Structure 1
Amino acid sequence: MKIFLVSNMYPSGTDPDYGIFVKNFKENFESLHGVSFVESVIKGRTKGLLSKILSYSSLLLSVIKNYLKGNYDIIYIHFISHTAPAFFLPLLFCPNKKPIIVNVHGADVIKYNKGLYKFFNDFLLKKSSFLVAPSNYFKQICINEFPFLPKDSIFVNPSGGIDSLKFSPKFLGKKNYKIVNLGFVSRIEEDKGWKDFIDVIQFLLKKGYKVKAIMAGTGSQVNELNKIIKENNLKQNIDYKGLVNHDKLVEIYQELDLFIFSSNRISESLGLVGLEAMACGIPVIAYDMAGPKTYIINQSNGYLVSPGNSSKIANSVINYLNLNVEDKLEMQRKAILTAKNFDSISVSEKLYEKVKSSIAS
């Protein structure tokens, strides 16, 4: 099988984690199923308007070139709103019978599926074999956004899943909680919840708890983050590591007691970082919304609290600390069991069988 892979997000040498789930999807298909690829992708983040224009122009030309060559069995497209326009003219004037699969991820539907984007998206989806959504939550979003799609044409597959061999526990059953270790891994953007995370730390410190927090990620508000840490004398409590290579995240997760997923984005279609933390035996506290609510069971493998209420996150941290050793250990075990349902090998196999069936049909 040969797949024509299209994505506006793909890792580069300077941006090794950008669109990492697209790369993981590709590498799993190659190593597990012997699939080969022809690619039209944008590698790394574009910086500035001119860079973006050049990158998307290059993507457009690459898509047309590879489409017309036709040396593939399937077209697999990631991030619909950013890639659908490139297929409009080829599909309109040179239609072929190769199956088209579209994998949506979040903002490409929530933020961009309107106006001209929606015209191109609808055009592409009406010619597609099926659509891939990262969670049942996002499947419902897609049903609402694309009502012409039959429900059974939306296949749920969790963004490549997680590597259970890489993300695994260091140890379970910690007995000493004199210092609580909290973690946050995300883009440093307004609606990703980093300010809520800092509110949680300050709440706990005022209550007399000793807190050590690790934050990882970059974004447009890094300067504001550093300013708040400095102005509130939180340097001894918060270790901000900036952008951390995906392969190194396991070292962060393994040092935590709890992972805080405080994003307020409705476009959080799944939330792989939460599942990666769970695979390491770390319960997750998140807002009761979007993707995380599909795998967190309140007071079982983590906690779900009212969206936007950072004090309830902090109180959930306290509730966890007040559990006895056995109850904490049980929650850790349940977190690991939850993550096993998202193992990348199993996820890849299910998607491969679905993709293969589209050729047969």
Structure 2
Amino acid sequence: MKNKIPRIQIPIMIGVLLALLAGLWAGLIRVGWRWPAIQPMLPTLHGPLMISGFLGTLISLERAVAMKRPFTFIGPVLSGIGAIWLVVGLPIAVGQWLLLLGSVGLTAVFIRIVRQHTASYTITMGLGAICWLVGNALWLGGCPIFRIVFWWAGFLVLTIVGERLELSRVARLSANTTRLFVAAVALFVAGLFGVLVWGSLGTRLIGLGLISLAIWLGLFDIARKTVRRSGLTRFIAVNLLLGYAWLLIGGVTAVWLGQVVAGPRYDFMLHAIFVGFVFGMIFAHAPIILPSILPIQVRFHPILYGPTIFLHLALLLRVIGDAGGWQPVRAWGGLLNAVAILWFMGQMAYLAATPKRLSN
């Protein structure tokens, strides 16, 4: 079975890449660019493709590779097929079921992980997997996206902060510091349930939870120390700290606005979290994660700062357009965000192909 696992990883990563590209294209159509769609429903699938198809499959694959157990690959295989199913325009319900089963697979993996090693960070990441499962189930059940999008956000936020808590163990956090983290997570999770019942009140609780987590990360994450170092270590820390700033902005916006159904303010609130925070984390960890998933080596080089800076400046442009109601500014910000993501992917591929010439 060991020889077969790499053969599984490659097609799954192809599905991840297709979901990302289709999700970006769908997002650009939604933000106002009049471009052709692969299939008529594609623009409405921007969120599910980016969160479940791209990130859900990628996170599931990363966990499966780390555990090295054949059954753990069932989840990413199913969600990867579900993403491709949606991209090509086959019946949406089948794609929803495949993504739901993929999230069941990741949840099962984390149940095993928590049983083997019960800790605040494994429980937090396990809650993240459950959020993905609940979000997918609500989507399949016909719940509107604006009501379930924070459950999908919870999947990504709790997975990321759980991983950061795990890495922060080297700082020997005090019991009170860990309790503060648990309280912030509890506040955020309470908001997830609240948003299904009370709308704006639940959204504001979510915002308070995001603010609490952002402040906690800013104060206690090891990135505040490692940013003083050099090379890849500093690059990771810079991306993390920028991401934490956007998480704070997203939380403040959620508290200020409450529940928003659609429009520029909705765009502002969500993309501060999904682009500023989540993609900040992706940029930070990609040089480490990709070699663990694929048989490649990626050497760090300062050229990676280019797309990082571009991503955050483009997002700033986008939120200015959102806040001011300037549609062309908003549309260009969205396009430049996509350019930054593709630029980063291209540089990662180039660094993997030329490790010696551009090693730092």
Above 0.5 in TM-score? no
Structure with more of its chain in strand, by fraction: 1
| Higher fraction of helix | 2
- TM-score normalised per structure 2: 0.24
Higher relative contact order (CA 8 A, sep 6+): 1
Pick the structure with greater CA Rg: 1
